[in-house]
Structure 1
Amino acid sequence: MFKVASPASPVTPPSKTLDLGSLSRLFAKNQETRLTSPSPPETNSLNYEISALNPDSRLLAVEPPHHLHIYSHKHNTHITLSRPNRDPIISVSTGNIGFRKAARSTYDAAYQLAAYVIKRVHEQGLLGQIKELEVILRGFGAGREACTKVLLGSEGRVLRTRVVRVIDATRLKFGGARSKKPRRLG
């Protein structure tokens, strides 16, 4: 995949205005360092071969990023770390780490889940494979805020430097199926 690097290329903000300003600003620095000039001529890389064909273009061969999907809804939180081709590496929910019934929907359960995923990434030695990471948030449960706190905290300092984009992929209903009739009390 090739991207054109320009000196003033804007960072893609999340598609919704959320309380992720500090998260986005941190990752803006990673995006700027990612867009650098092509490699020097002494290396026999794809970057140099492309720039030799057209010296005016500043094309870079950038490998696609890994994806960290965080799906947080009213009753549970799911986290999936996947390869660039979307094959899952780690896929866990709060029930997998010992929380049962109503405890799965809590902020604390989601916080521990995110810390657990980062610990598994360290234990499995996946940091060498993960050069870039996209964080994809979905849903509005308590786990959404908890997972961003872990990434911004001391547990996520290693993964935080690799994040290049934060995306909100929450599904919004336009019309859709007919809603349940309202419950009548009284």
Structure 2
Amino acid sequence: MSQHTALRTFRRTLRTTHRSFQPTRCISQTSPTLAPPPVDPPMAENPLDSLMSSIDSNFRRASNDYFSNMIPGQTTPLRNLTIRDWDEDDRHKLHIFAHKHNTHLTLSKPNRDALISVSCGNIGFRKAGRGTYDAGYQLAAFLMNRIQDKGLLPQIKKLELIYRGFGPGREAVTKAILGSEGKKVRPLIVRLSDSTRLKFGGVRSKKPRRLG
């Protein structure tokens, strides 16, 4: 009985092996000719890039045409429109520094060299009197006379007033220039500017003084 079982098992194994075994076929005889891999077409130019480049070129051309037509007789586009005041500055400067304790006046050349520098202490005021309105007015009148005495008036072609601070002397010097004391200096003034210091943030302010 065991021999018949072993024989049937052997035959079944041979059938399974025969079914699974198949001769290999030559690829060159059965498979068709392989086509070369497709080549990707060249990428087309991005329309957005071409649009931006055309806009940029049109903008440059329009800007050059606009600025070149601003000045009569200008045919070439302008490269630099920045005005350099320090290269063409021919104005004398009168610096008016007025704070609550004193007033300082400084007349300088166009290259910032000082010609006259005076304060209320130079004309006889002391201590709290230096910060008064009258001291500032007399200081401005003294400066006008000093300019004439030193012969500086003929060489001053243009004069710029530069204010700094909001003390009583600020208004006093302005009144003196507009009065009879400044009648010879007033026609030379071509510009007014304010260089008062402004604090953005910074350290804590000093505690205000309280009396009583």
- TM-score bracket, normalised by the shorter chain, equals 0.5 to 0.7
Superposed CA deviations along residues 34-79 of structure 1, whole A, max 9, x for unmatched, are xxxxxxxxxxxxxxxxxxxx9837xxx9661000000000100000
Larger Rg: 2
Partner residue of 1:127? 153
Question: In 2, distance between residues paired with 1:121 and 1:130?
Answer: 10
Partner residue of 1:178? 204
Partner residue of 1:56? 73
Partner residue of 2:142? 116
**2:152 corresponds to which letter in structure 1?**
L
**1:79 corresponds to which letter in structure 2?**
L
Question: In 2, distance between residues paired with 1:151 and 1:76?
Answer: 18
Q: Which runs of 5+ in 2 are unaligned?
A: 1-70, 75-86
**1:56 corresponds to which letter in structure 2?**
G
Q: Which runs of 5+ in 1 are unaligned?
A: 1-53
Question: In 2, distance between residues paired with 1:81 and 1:185?
Answer: 38
Return the match for 1:70 from 96, 100, 110. 96
- The 1:87–1:183 alpha-carbon spacing in structure 2 relative to 1, beyond 3 Å, is closer
Partner residue of 2:131? 105
How far 1:180 moved relative to its partner? 2.6
TM-score w.r.t. length of structure 1: 0.65
Question: In 1, distance between residues paired with 2:210 and 2:116?
Answer: 43
Q: Please tell me whether residue 86 in structure 1 is matched to residue 112 in structure 2.
A: yes
Return the match for 1:148 from 174, 196, 201. 174
**1:94 corresponds to which letter in structure 2?**
C
Equivalenced residue count is 130
Question: In 1, distance between residues paired with 2:211 and 2:122?
Answer: 37
> Going by fraction, where is helix more abundant, 1 or 2?
2
Question: In 2, distance between residues paired with 1:144 and 1:102?
Answer: 16
Question: In 1, distance between residues paired with 2:110 and 2:151?
Answer: 17
**2:188 corresponds to which letter in structure 1?**
R
RMSD: 2.2
Structure with higher RCO (Cα < 8 A, 6+ apart):
1
Question: In 2, distance between residues paired with 1:88 and 1:145?
Answer: 23
How far 1:172 moved relative to its partner? 1.1
How far 1:179 moved relative to its partner? 1.7
Partner residue of 2:162? 136
Superposed CA deviations along residues 78-124 of structure 1, whole A, max 9, x for unmatched, are 00000001000000000011000011011000000000000000000
How far 1:128 moved relative to its partner? 1.0
**2:129 corresponds to which letter in structure 1?**
A
How far 1:182 moved relative to its partner? 5.1
- The 1:183–1:155 alpha-carbon spacing in structure 2 relative to 1, beyond 3 Å, is closer
TM-score w.r.t. length of structure 2: 0.57
Partner residue of 1:44? none
Question: In 1, distance between residues paired with 2:164 and 2:126?
Answer: 22
